[in-house]
Structure 1
């Protein structure tokens, strides 16, 4: 079932973008206001990282331990970014989420950022598919 659904049909097409020079405090505010687990970090139109809730927690803890300001997104973002191709299937995306323990991933078309996909988006795809074509229950 999931191998027939395309990531591009379930992704967020205009994700909120963060800048590496943004403060961690401002990035956390964006995540909270938008109900996001993470957001792509873009510099001059190029994807340079992902900033997640965990990255925000690290920044807050470091600031508390060292009694300093909370820092910049560039200091805490993940630079090694797993990316989903917009032509990937929802099944491939689900497998990547489970392998990498991420809650959201950027979606690219070649080198261009075209969206973002979360685990919740995959669950919505499963739910929508189940409503249109109920699955048989099988036990393991």
Structure 2
């Protein structure tokens, strides 16, 4: 069973993009656009205090007729952050994300942010696990 640690090790882009809670939403969406990502970890000092996603932006800026120029990240971020550790399995994370309707999970080990995984990262890992299992079963059947 693949763990989050293995997923993080295999990720092409391992950098974790962060933003401060007092930054403007414009700063945040500019960073997301520059990096081609859909979410940022919101950090206050060394502590995860939220996640800001494109979904947050769409629902809390556009639909509520706010502006990106004078709204802070803190005002629209998702602050009830669910995290996992690097020892969690891909299946556990996928189940959690499905049940809670999440697309991103911060990875915390010993109170420190060590990674940020997306549902795409996990689906890729699950597909690789299935491919390996199919190969093993074919070899077993072939003798």
Within 5 Å, which residues of 2 pair with 1:112-127? 112-127=112-127
The answer to whether the Cα contact below 8 Å between 1:38 and 1:53 also exists between their aligned partners in 2 is yes
Shift of residue 103, structure 1, vs aligned partner: 0.8
Q: Which runs of 5+ in 2 are unaligned?
A: 138-143
Shift of residue 116, structure 1, vs aligned partner: 0.5
Q: TM-score normalized by structure 1?
A: 0.82
For residues 42-75 of structure 1, give each alpha carbon's deviation from its aligned partner in whole angstroms, at most 9, with x where no partner exists.
111111111111111212333xx36784511011
Within 5 Å, which residues of 2 pair with 1:5-44? 5-11=2-8, 13-44=14-45
Shift of residue 120, structure 1, vs aligned partner: 0.4
Within 5 Å, which residues of 2 pair with 1:22-101? 22-57=23-58, 58-62=60-64, 65=65, 69-101=69-101
Shift of residue 21, structure 1, vs aligned partner: 1.5
Distance (Å, rounded) in 2 between the aligned partners of 1:88 and 1:101:
18
Shift of residue 20, structure 1, vs aligned partner: 0.7
Q: TM-score normalized by structure 2?
A: 0.81
Shift of residue 129, structure 1, vs aligned partner: 2.4
For residues 80-135 of structure 1, give each alpha carbon's deviation from its aligned partner in whole angstroms, at most 9, with x where no partner exists.
10001111011110011101111111010031111011110011112322343327
Distance (Å, rounded) in 2 between the aligned partners of 1:48 and 1:68:
20
In structure 1, the partner of 2:140 is none
RMSD in angstroms over aligned alpha carbons? 2.1
Structure-2 change in CA distance of 1:67 and 1:15 (3 Å): closer
Shift of residue 22, structure 1, vs aligned partner: 1.4
Q: Which runs of 5+ in 1 are unaligned?
A: none
Report the number of matched residues.
Answer: 131
